[in-house]
């Protein structure tokens, strides 16, 4: 490091120009840096839709939705699990972590 001090003392203009060049290169590099406020992210989500014709929402929840939730809840990488039971249809939405492979998650749910 002694050589840097020696050059800066002997040639102050050269040292100043070198510092300014480093600053300019840093600013140009920073402005050219690509970033996105809202990047396109595909969340790994698996939907399980199960029809149960003629059943009430309570029956769908008790017979179908709870069983599916218990089975899907054991899969690794699961981040969020929501379900909706309506007349004759059960909908279970399983959202996995971003690192999870959606095809592998779908096979695990299957």
Mean pLDDT for back-to-back runs of 10 residues, the chain (110 residues): 83 91 94 84 89 90 90 88 92 90 85
Q: What are phi and psi of 13, to 5 degrees?
A: -65, -45
Greatest CA separation for the chain: 92
Which of 49, 56, 50 is closest to 86 using CA atoms? 56
Instruction: Mark whether 105 and 75 lie in a shared domain.
Output: yes
Instruction: Mark whether 14 and 67 lie in a shared domain.
Output: no
**Residue 75: DSSP 8-state:** S
- DSSP count for the chain of H helices, then E strands: 5, 3
Count how many domains the chain has: 2
Which residue segment(s) compose the domain that 26 sits in? 2-32
Half-sphere exposure of 11 (CA within 13 A, CB side): 8
Instruction: Mark whether 68 and 97 lie in a shared domain.
Output: yes
Residue 94 has a pLDDT of 92
Instruction: Mark whether 71 and 105 lie in a shared domain.
Output: yes
């Amino acid at each position: 490091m002694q050589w840097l001090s020696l050059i800066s003392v002997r040639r102050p203009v050269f040292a100043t120009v070198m510092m300014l060049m480093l600053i300019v290169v840093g600013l140009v590099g920073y402005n050219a840096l690509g970033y996105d406020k809202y990047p396109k992210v595909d969340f790994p989500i698996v939907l399980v839709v199960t029809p149960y014709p003629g059943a009430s929402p309570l029956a769908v929840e008790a017979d179908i939705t709870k069983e599916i939730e218990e089975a899907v809840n054991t899969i690794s990488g699961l981040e969020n699990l929501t379900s909706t039971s309506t007349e004759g249809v059960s909908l279970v939405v399983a959202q996995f972590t971003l690192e999870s492979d959606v095809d592998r998650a779908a096979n695990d749910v299957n």
